[in-house]
Amino acid sequence: MITINQLDFGYKKNKKLFSELNLKLEKGRIYGLLGKNGSGKTTLLKQTAGLLYPDSGDVKLNGENAGSRSTRFLASYYLIPEEFETPGLSIRSFVKINAPFYPNFNEEQFYNYLAEFKTETDGKLNKLSYGQKKKVLIAFGLAANTPVLMSDEPTNGLDIPSKSMFRKIMASGLTEDRLFIISTHQVKDIEGIIDSIVILENGKIIFNQSLESIGDKLCFKTLKSLEEEEVLYSEKHLNTYEAVVRRSGGESTRINLELLFNSIVEGDGGVVKEFSN
């Protein structure tokens, strides 16, 4: 559904952010695009949305070239940006002027999502709090029913109950013909909803795996001693170690996203090597 082929891009001519970047994302999945601050997550989303032009290579969404910015391409996705400005209009007016551009927009769904988020539908959009505005955009993005929904740091500004509601709503909004990308550096916020992980580091995709394949190869354990298992990465806590170990036998553990992320970004490459064959 999304194909990025040999993408080269840099904000400055002599400083490349992406060099020969390749990525393929399939429909029916929720991808967690993870990376540290400044790793290029937002830029990658902008490239996918056709808001930036590549220096070379191409980005395709549903077969449509991102650089074309054609109506069909733009109607294929909805982007919930991290920073946004909302007009001084009521939510109803906002829907009235924006929804007709999305052929599969479902107004009933939109108001249902807002109700689930416990967001008021009266009053002006620009008078709402940042978190409330974000909920309106998330509800709109989901109700737009675009094949691709991209969100950049969607949980920023959401309170704890809203974060868990966000996870629930996102998971319920996914259908077999849709693809969601959630870009974040707050790994814990998307635990339990994503089914694939893409990690971006210094402009390179260093990890792109589904949770099934991660579960097939790794286990996440709390150990008293590192000699107990075949440890690929560990973090020392007070008297124990949080460890990523090679999976042996039929055991399976809950994936600790934060630990996995750290093992890939901060580790010695042992975890990544497990997936290289």
Partner 1 sequence: MVLLKNLVIEKSRKMENIQTFSIKRVFLLMQKSVYENARYVLTGLTTVFGIFTIVLFFNALHDGEAWKNMQSFYVIGFIIAGLIVSGMAFTNLRTKEKAMSYLSLPASLLEKLLAELLLTTVGFIIMYTAIFYVYNLLIYLVGAPFNLHANILNIFTKEVFEGYWLYIILQSVLLTGAATFRKAPLFLTLFSLFVVGTALLIIVVLIALSFKGYLESSGLENLRITDDEFLKGENPEHHPLVQIPKIMFYYVTAPLFWVVAYFKLKEKEV
Q: What is the rounded distance in angstroms from the CA atom of residue 143 to the CA atom of residue 164?
A: 19
- Of 61 and 219, the one with the shorter C-beta distance to partner 1 is 61
Residues 6+ away with beta carbon under 8 Å from 78: 102, 140, 141, 144, 146, 148, 149, 150
Q: Name the helix (H) or strand (E) containing 93.
A: helix 91-98
CB of 75 to partner 1, least distance (A): 4
What dihedral angle (degrees, nearest 10) is formed by the CA atoms of 192, 194, 198, 203?
-90
Minimum CB–partner distance for residue 6 and partner 1 (Å): 20
Residues in touch with partner 1 (CB under 8 A): 46, 49-53, 62, 69-72, 74-79, 81, 83-85, 87-89, 93, 96-98, 100-104, 145, 147, 175-177
100 or 250: whose CB is closer to partner 1?
A: 100
Rounded to the nearest 10 degrees, what angle do helices 160-173 and 130-143 cross at? 10
Residue 177: both structure tokens together: 């013909």
Least Å distance between CB 242 and partner 1? 38
Nearest to partner 1 of 89, 206 (CB atom): 89
| Minimum distance, C-beta of residue 148 to partner 1, in the bound complex (Å) | 11
Q: Which is nearer to partner 1, 97 or 115 (CB)?
A: 97
Distance CA(136)–CA(144), nearest Å, equals 12
Give the N- to C-terminal CA distance of the chain in Å, as an integer: 25
Q: Given the complex with partner 1, which of 146 and 234 has the nearer CB atom?
A: 146
Nearest approach in angstroms of CB 111 to partner 1 is: 19
* Inter-residue contact 208 to 196 (CB < 8 Å): yes
CB distance 189 to 163 below 8 Å: yes
We find the least distance from the C-beta atom of residue 70 to partner 1, in angstroms, to be 6
Q: Is the dihedral of CA 9, 10, 13, 16 positive or negative?
A: negative
> At its nearest, how many Å lie between partner 1 and the CB of residue 40?
15
Nearer residue to partner 1 within complex by CB, 2 or 74: 74
Q: 102 vs 275, which CB is nearer to partner 1?
A: 102
Cα 189 to its chain centre, rounded Å, is 11
